[in-house]
Amino acid sequence: MALLVVVAALGLLLGACSNDPGQGSDPDPAQVDAVAPPADDACRRLVPDDLTRTVNATRTVACTEEHTAQTLVVGRVPDDVAGDGPDGDALVAWTARTCAARFADHLGAGESTALRTVLGWAWFGPSRRAWDDGARWYRCDLVGGGPTSSRLATLPGRTRGLLAGLPADRWMACARGASVQQGRRVSCAQPHDWRAVTTIRLGEARTAYPGDDAVERRTRQFCADSVAAWLRYPASYDYGYTWFGAAEWSRGNRRSVCWARTSR
């Protein structure tokens, strides 16, 4: 019989979450309060705290140098999305969907792999001063971790297609600890007790959010069977799951993640 390890809906640890007046670690004065869009395909040395803000003016470095972030796309926010201001729900949801899609496309990752990697994405926009002066750009960055990481991983000089095919364990998500919920997220190349092995798709793009109870129930049922299959149907096994609530659903995430207790 499987020992069920429940992981509550905590929300994705991807993307910035507050329009903080701080503009990042090691800011470039030329980028602070800039109305002009930042450079595309640029690299930076971001730190986890940078990922808690929607404004970032960290100076760029050559992508051949050590870096933890690479810009995936820079563009203009559509007028109908920008109507509620830089903190509006519509802008946050639209930017999250846009960055998530570009993140997966750039890495060559399917939806399942994109949710099971230690890599992440973050989005940034203009400061309030720049917004008031007419700036309407957004920036999506590939980053080597998330805002709760102890440090961000150094990215390789070339990241396109990094998760295509069978990705290296270095880039896939595992955890150490008695449970997934209480454990520390680590790369699967490190010693671990849990591995994110599969995902379940719970709806299509236009599907209304079915409610927490339905999402949790379907996730639990699927993961019990899916993890058993991944482990090749042992007599007993432990599994966990991560499901995401209504806020992430509105940003386009329709999947939950299944975890197997395993050291491999």
Tens digits of residue pLDDT in 81-124: 998 888 899 999 999 999 999 999 999 999 999 999 999 999 99
Q: How many residues does the chain have?
A: 264
With a cut of 50, say whether residue 222 has pLDDT above it.
yes
| Greater pLDDT, 90 or 13 | 90
Backbone angles phi and psi of 48, in degrees to 5? -50, -40
Number of H helices, E strands in the chain: 6, 11
pTM of the predicted structure, to 2 decimals: 0.87
In DSSP terms, which residues pair with 70 in a beta bridge? Answer: 43, 142
* Alpha helices (H) in 70-148, listed in sequence order: 79-82, 89-107, 111-115, 128-132
- Consecutive H or E run containing 76: strand 69-76
**Residue 84 corresponds to which tokens in the numbers above?**
């509620």
Question: Is the distance from CB of 93 to CB of 58 less than 8 angstroms?
Answer: no
Q: What gap in Å lies between CA 98 and CA 172, rounded to an integer?
A: 22
- CA-CA distances (angstroms) from residue 253 to 19, 93, 180, 207, 208? 22, 11, 20, 11, 12
Query: Which is more confident, 228 or 86?
Result: 228
Phi, psi (deg, nearest 5) at residue 142: -80, 130
Token pair in block for residue 26: 């090691």
Q: What percent of the chain has pLDDT over 70?
A: 92
Sorting pLDDT into bands at 50, 70 and 90, what band is 148? confident
First and final C-alpha spacing in the chain: 21
Region 19-46: mean pLDDT is 88
Mean pLDDT score, 176-180: 93
- For 30, residues 6+ apart whose C-beta sits below 8 A from its C-beta are none
Residue 232 carries which side chain, given as an amino acid letter? Answer: R
Percent with pLDDT over 90 in the chain: 82
Q: How far apart are CA 93 and CA 68, in angstroms?
A: 25
> What confidence tier does 182 reach under pLDDT thresholds 50, 70, 90?
confident
Strands (E), 131-236: 137-143, 173-176, 184-187, 194-201
Rounded mean pLDDT of the chain? 91
What is the Cα–Cα distance from 160 to 171, expressed in whole angstroms?
A: 13
Question: 137-143 and 184-187 as β-strands: parallel, antiparallel, unpaired?
Answer: unpaired
Which residue is it, tokens 């990752």? 109
Element (H, E) at 250: helix 246-250
